[in-house]
């Protein structure tokens, strides 16, 4: 008997976006929203706020992390930076398998190496032109929310 996979168009894909730049956030949401398939994009400006949300600190829902299928993370954030966020995220079983894409202005080799050492799934540098930035977001959306959506769904359930 052949196993039928769910149609990716029917999957609810919730995304956590951690980005302190409002303009970059607007571009990211604009490109991702059509591919969330009824899901939500949760935006926070700091890593600390993102962790509070994931671990449902101060919320009624106990395990928000099980609903998040992708995290898009900037590195240069106020307070807790993106690498610190990633380090904490990967410590806990309930959040360690959530795919993380770092989208940052940093091309520093130390940042890239540390991110992969900590378990990031993809590291992408933000282009300087709006056109190229939108193209990068579109590529993230196509891969993580369309082509890879069944893997995301099954890896975080």
pLDDT in tens, 68-103: 889 999 999 999 999 999 999 999 998 999 999 999
Which parts of 69-142 fold into alpha helices (H)? Answer: 82-91, 93-96, 109-118, 130-140
Any domain includes 89: yes
Residue 100: Cβ within 10 Å count: 23
Domain around 63: 10-151
Contact 70, 101 (CB under 8 A): yes
3 falls within a domain: no
Residue 2 in domain: no
**Whole-number pLDDT of residue 157:** 41
47 vs 149, which has greater pLDDT?
A: 47
Answer yes or no: is 143 within a domain. Answer: yes
% of the chain residues with pLDDT over 90: 46
Planar angle of CA 119, 72, 111, nearest 5 degrees: 50
Does 108 have pLDDT greater than 60? yes
What number of other Cβ atoms are within 10 A of residue 121's Cβ? 16
CATH number at residue 90: 3.40.50.2300
Q: Other C-beta atoms within 10 Å of 81: how many?
A: 19
In a domain, 4, yes or no: no
pLDDT of residue 82: 96
Residue 157 lies in a domain: no
Task: Assess contact for 96 and 90: CB atoms under 8 A.
Answer: yes
- What is the rounded average pLDDT of the residues 26-50? 86
Give a yes or no: residue 90 inside a domain. Answer: yes
Q: Given the structure tokens 């993102």, which residue do they identify? A: 50
Distance in angstroms (rounded) separating the CA atoms of residues 46 and 107 = 20
Q: Residue 34: which pLDDT band, with cuts at 50, 70 and 90?
A: confident
Give the pLDDT score at 59: 58
Overall domain count for the chain: 1
Q: How confident is the model at residue 143 (pLDDT cuts 50, 70, 90)?
A: confident
Percentage of residues in the chain having pLDDT higher than 70: 78
Q: Is residue 36 in some structural domain?
A: yes
List, in order, residues 6 or more apart from 59 with CB less than 8 Å away.
53
Query: How far apart are alpha carbons 15 and 41 in whole angstroms?
Result: 5
């Amino acid at each position: 008997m052949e196993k039928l996979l769910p149609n990716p168009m029917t999957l609810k894909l919730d995304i956590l976006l951690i980005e302190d730049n409002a303009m970059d956030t607007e571009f990211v949401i604009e490109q991702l929203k059509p591919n969330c398939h009824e899901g939500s994009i949760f935006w926070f400006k700091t890593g600390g706020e993102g962790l509070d949300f994931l671990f449902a600190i101060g919320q009624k829902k106990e395990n928000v992390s099980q609903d998040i299928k992708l995290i898009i993370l900037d590195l240069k954030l106020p307070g807790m930076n993106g690498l610190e966020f990633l380090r904490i995220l990967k410590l806990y079983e309930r959040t360690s398998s959530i795919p993380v894409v770092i989208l940052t202005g940093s091309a520093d080799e130390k940042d890239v190496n540390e991110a992969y050492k900590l378990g990031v799934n993809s590291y992408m540098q933000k282009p300087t032109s709006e056109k190229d930035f939108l193209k990068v977001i579109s590529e993230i959306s196509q891969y993580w929310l369309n082509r890879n959506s069944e893997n995301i769904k099954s890896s975080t359930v």
